[in-house]
Chains A and B, each alone.
Chain A
Amino acid sequence: MNISLVRIDDRLIHGQVTTAWLRQYPAEVIFVIGDSVAANPFQKVVLQTTAPAGVTVEVMDTATAAAELIRRSQDSRNVALILTRPADIVHLVEQGIPIRSVNVGGMQPHTGSRQVAKSVSVDQADELAFRHLFEKGVELEIRMVPTDKKQDLAKILGFTR
């Protein structure tokens, strides 16, 4: 499958995704990836019930996502990956999934996190995961919608090569 978008957003699929991202980065399939969402049957049903027209939503944990992306590598459809934490992307990258750029859309504040942009708060584990991605050469950009100006998360977190 051709990965059209990799987005971190803990609200998962919402207006910014349906009215903006899917319009400018079209995808026929959305993988919603995360161990906790995959273990939540209610959330799974909500996501599938509200899938945008013409889009299939599949909810799965990180290990399954990596396996599925490899298994369906010959599938010609576009897939958008929506995740909640950067550590999950590290896992995918380590499994050999080709990810060159990560869009950071929204990470809610929680205990132990610090706010680094209007809608982005990271804790130490996130920061480590982002550093790992940065060192692998993955672009890390903050945008809520595609027409926003890209903010370089690596620069904000002070990563240097």
Chain B
Amino acid sequence: MFRQALLVALVAGAWEWITVLPAMIAAVLRKKDSTFNSWLIAFFKSIDSAAFYSPVVTAFLTGLVLGDVKTGLLVGSTVQLMFIGVFIVGASIPPNPRLASILATALCILTGASTGEALTIVVPVSVLSQLLTTLFMTLNVFFLHWADKMAEEGKIVNIDLLNTLNGIGWQAVEVIPAFLGVYFGVDLTKSLIATIPEVVSKGLGLSAGLLPALGFGMLLVIIANRRVWPFFFVGFLLATYVKMNAIAVAMLGVCLALIYDHLRNSRSASRVDSALTEAPYGSPEREAVSSDTASPGKAALGGEDIAGVFWRSFNFAGNYNFERLMALGMASMMVPVLRRLARTKEEIVSGLKRHLVFYNSHPYLGAMITGVVAAMEVQKAQGAAIKDEDINGVKTAMMGPFAGVGDSLFWGTLHPIYLSITAALAAQGNPVAPFLAWFFIGGTAVAGHWFFLNYGFRWGTDVLAKIRESNVIERVAGGAKIVGILVAGAMIATLVSVKTTLVLSIGGGSIAIQPILDQILPNLLPLCLVFIVYGLLKRHMSPIVVMLILMAIGILGAWLGFLG
């Protein structure tokens, strides 16, 4: 079992210690960044992003190393669907399905447990992950204080190294439990499974069909509003009657979103930058969006410096903690900038201290803030009258609002679309699913970090005027919502499975309920279940409680015989 445990630990994140880490440490210790090395790190980090956000990817890899890809895809699909719409916002850490999907797959394969039975460990293990992450974030405060001392002494390499090790070391939170779980868990699970009564294990199998309702319920809480509800039903009806698959529905959604955007904008093209034109010239509002801190010359920072900021931006939550959240991450992203711009040791010290303050934003949109800050650093070094508090003022002003946009667009809308499509493919046992998840999620991560960083650096504080002019936030967010809810509607019809075996006996004859329901509206029960879950979540019920309720319904359904 040692060999299997080791392989699973590799999948759980230890692979980064032998791939990404050497590349990162090389860049840190050489005190020099190269474009090639930065993109190599970004390539590995695209895999890491996919594995971090998509249980289909981790479960597939677990299945691959243990020799049963099909089980991996099935378990990954179910776990992924349960957790659609669950993500980290701010310092709020939810239960995390990554370790759970790995262990559930491994135990399924190594003990011969059914998918339904393996799901029982998903709830406790995802909560364990949540606790371990919270614990690690508490420990990180210690590293942060250590970094404060390093900054005081101007030890820029040490700070860089600390954040790198901190970020990659974080994998231990999953690697160690994954190893122990397989090494000690297999025999234990075998004996436990033998004691599970047959009706319970049948019920758990049924609950695997109910649990996706939780993910879609969460998703609806985030994206549903009066404007997009009709698209939800369009998606539902297309999948129910026309049997359109996930990819086709998503493509249709993109078309509808573009048409919708076109219609809206041709009608109201004039209202776009009204807020800006309302502000008279010379007023503070005008000054604020086009101040002289904007648009630096690119001369002062080279392409390899920006590439250095780029790879470090993947580690910007490396020291995520409850005291100053991403402060050390921000300081480490500024290492290539300060190294190039600072002329004296004092400037390094003050630069590091300037960035070791409370900071928290979205990984991709936040990279735009990093770019703006880098641009301001350049101007400061070129002698512009920019004070420390000006730079931190811009950071503080932008971090919250842009996290608000990024969290709802990327975590709340785009990721659920990616996760729905790939879970649907994985449920059919299609091995393309994890690769598609990698392409979508990893691609968005790499493109997001790179594009927003460069955009922010190019425009400096002018980005705000740029964004306002194009009204891009509202248009992209609105369009993505349409695609998201269309896919959600379709996937409920395909992936949530509830069928009743109830039979009414009237007089001498008996009537089965399910065929009657099917004549009214096929998939009526899945639709109702999702709305019930949606209602519970709207009343602030915790997702974990809903998860337990759904499992209980599955078991009761099997025991009393009303589900089948």
Contacts and interface: CB of A to CB of B under 8 A. Distances in A.
Given A23-B221, A40-B397, A43-B397, A14 B540 contact: no
B401 A13 contact: yes
A156 interface: no
Given A15-B404, A46-B398, A118-B322, A54 B225 contact: yes
A145 B92 contact: yes
B91 A118 contact: yes
B406 interface: yes
A64 interface: no
Contacts of B322: 115, 118-119
Counting chain B CB atoms within 10 Å of each CB, the highest count among A14, A24, A48 belongs to: A14
B323 interface: yes
A92 interface: no
Contacts of A146: 540
Given A54-B225, A144-B90, A14 B473 contact: no
Interface string B70-94: 0000000000000000000111100
A115 B322 CA distance: 10
B447 interface: no
Contact of B405 (A18, A41, A144): A18
A15 B403 contact: yes
Contacts of A49: 401, 464, 467-468, 473
Contact of B288 (A42, A52, A148): A42
A53 B288 contact: no
A12 B478 contact: no
A148 B541 CA distance: 9
Contacts of B405: 18, 50, 52
Interface in B394-438: 394, 396-408, 411-412
Contacts of B275: 48
Contacts of A20: 89, 92
Contacts of A148: 92
B284 interface: yes
B404 A13 contact: yes
B400 to A, nearest CB: 4
Nearest to A109: B323
A147 B541 contact: yes
Contact of A145 (B89, B291, B538): B89
A11 B407 contact: no
B388 interface: no
A47 interface: yes
A63 to B, nearest CB: 19
Interface in A98-119: 106, 108-109, 115, 118-119
B538 A45 contact: no
Given A14-B399, A16-B89, A46-B397, A24 B404 contact: no
A52 B406 CA distance: 11
Given A15-B362, A15-B408, A109-B323, A46 B89 contact: no
A46 B477 CA distance: 17
A42 B401 CA distance: 12
A44 interface: yes
B346 interface: no
B400 A19 contact: no
Contacts, number: 132
B253 interface: no
A19 B407 contact: yes
A12 B468 contact: no
A17 interface: yes
Interface in A102-161: 106, 108-109, 115, 118-119, 144-149
Interface in A1-41: 11-20, 23-24, 40-41
Interface string B522-560: 000000000000000110111100000000000000000
B153 interface: no
Contacts of A108: 324, 358
A144 B360 CA distance: 14
Given A17-B404, A45-B288, A46-B464, A40 B393 contact: yes
A14 B397 contact: no
Nearest to A23: B221
B397 A24 contact: no
Nearest to A14: B400
A19 B412 contact: yes
B289 interface: yes
Contact of B393 (A12, A42, A109): A42
Contacts of B287: 41
A147 B411 CA distance: 17
Given A24-B538, A44-B285, A118-B322, A19 B89 contact: yes
Interface string B34-62: 00000000000000000000000000000
A106 B393 CA distance: 18
Nearest to B220: A23
B270 to A, nearest CB: 18
Interface string B158-198: 00000000000000000000000000000000000000000
A42 B461 contact: yes
A47 B401 contact: yes
A48 B276 CA distance: 10
Instruction: For the complex of A and B, list the 7 residue pairs with the smallest distance between their C-beta atoms, beginning with the closest.
Output: A15-B407, A41-B284, A14-B400, A43-B397, A50-B401, A11-B400, A144-B92
Given A50-B473, A147-B543, 14 more contacts: A11-B90, A13-B400, A15-B404, A16-B90, A16-B407, A23-B222, A42-B461, A49-B468, A53-B474, A53-B477, A115-B323, A119-B91, A147-B537, A147-B541
Interface of B: 89-92, 134, 221-222, 225, 227, 275, 284-285, 287-289, 291, 322-324, 358, 360-362, 393-394, 396-408, 411-412, 461, 464, 467-468, 473-474, 477-478, 481, 537-538, 540-543
